[in-house]
Amino acid sequence: MPTKPRPLFLKFTSERSEEVSLAVDLEIPSRRRPKAIVLFMPGYTSVRNGEKAQAYREAARDAGLAWLAFDPRGHGESSGSIRDLTLLRHVVDLGAAHTMARSVAPTVIGVGSSLGGLTMAVFAASQQNAFSHITAIAPGFGFFERWSRVPKSRWPEGMTAAAIASARTATTARIAPRVRTPMLVWHGMRDEAVDWRQSVRFAQRCPAFVEVRLFNDGDHRLTRWKQRLAVESIAQAVRLSGSDVTVIPE
C-alpha cells in the first residue's frame, strides 16, 4: 500500500501562551505560481485527509490551485486535547492556517466541513477580506446550542460546558449579518447532527450571496456526493473569485 505523505507542522504560541503544533498538508502546483489556494478545515472529530478532503484536493489540483488542509487542536495529528475544544480555539487555529495559506497565495478560498464550516463563517464575520469564497459542507450552525439542550450523558466525545459556552456569541443571528463573503452551502435533509434548516436561516440573514443546495436523502457526511461537491464547489469559487484566481505560469 502507498504510504501517506508526512505532514508539515505549523507551530505557534496559543491564546493561553501554550506551544501549539498543527498538522498541515500543503500542495503547490508544479511549474506554476498560483494566485489562489484552497484552505480546508475538517469537522468535529474529523481529520484533514478524509474522503471529502481528498476529493476537494483533487479538484483544486485540477483547477491549478494550491491546497492547504489542517487538523485543528485535539484532532488528527495536531497537538492538544478534544476535551479543551472551544470555538475561540478553533478560530485561532484557523487564523494561523490562514496566515500560512496567504503566504503561499494572495487569494484564499475556504472549504469547511461541519464545525469547520461554522468556524470559517465566524472568522469571515470578523475578517471580511479573509476569503474570496467559502464552501460550507453541512456547516455546524446551531451545533453547540443543540447540545446545550441535551443531558450531559448524551453529549458526544469531547463536548464540554466550556465548549458550549464559547459559542454563545456566535449564533446565526449574530454572525450571518456580518459575513460579506459569497458562499456555497451543501446540506442533507436527513442530517441528524445539524438541522439543514439552520443553513437556510443563515442564508436568509446573510447580506452576501449564499447558495444553499439540499439533498433530500443526504446525511451529515455527504460522502456519497463527494466528487460532485468538490468539482462544483471549486468551479463556483473560481467563477465568483474572477481574475483573483488566475494561474500565472512560471
β strands within the chain, DSSP E: 8-13, 19-27, 32-33, 36-41, 66-70, 107-113, 133-137, 183-188, 210-215, 248-249
For residue 2, being part of any structural domain is answered with no
For residue 39, being part of any structural domain is answered with yes
CA 58, distance to chain mean position in Å, is 17
For residue 3, being part of any structural domain is answered with no
Task: Label the pairing between strands 183-188 and 133-137.
Answer: parallel
Span 175-203, mean pLDDT?
97
Span 91-120, mean pLDDT?
97
Band (4; pLDDT cuts 50, 70, 90): low
For residue 250, being part of any structural domain is answered with no
For residue 247, being part of any structural domain is answered with no
Total domains, the chain: 1
Predicted local confidence at residue 248, as pLDDT: 43
Task: Label the pairing between strands 8-13 and 19-27.
Answer: antiparallel
Domain range for residue 205? Answer: 8-241
Does residue 98 contact residue 39 with C-beta atoms inside 8 Å?
yes
For 135-154, how does the pLDDT look when each residue is reduced to its tens digit (9 = 90+)?
A: 999 999 999 999 999 999 99
Does residue 48 contact residue 71 with C-beta atoms inside 8 Å?
yes
Span 204-232, mean pLDDT?
98
Q: List all residues 6 or more positions away from 244 whose beta carbon is below 8 Å from its beta carbon.
A: 35, 36, 106, 107, 132
Residue 159 pLDDT greater than 70, yes or no: yes
For residue 249, being part of any structural domain is answered with no
Predicted local confidence at residue 157, as pLDDT: 85
pTM: 0.94
Degrees (nearest 5) of the Cα angle 229, 69, 239?
Answer: 45
* CATH code of the domain covering residue 35: 3.40.50.1820
Give the whole-angstrom CA distance, residue 1 versus residue 115. Answer: 31
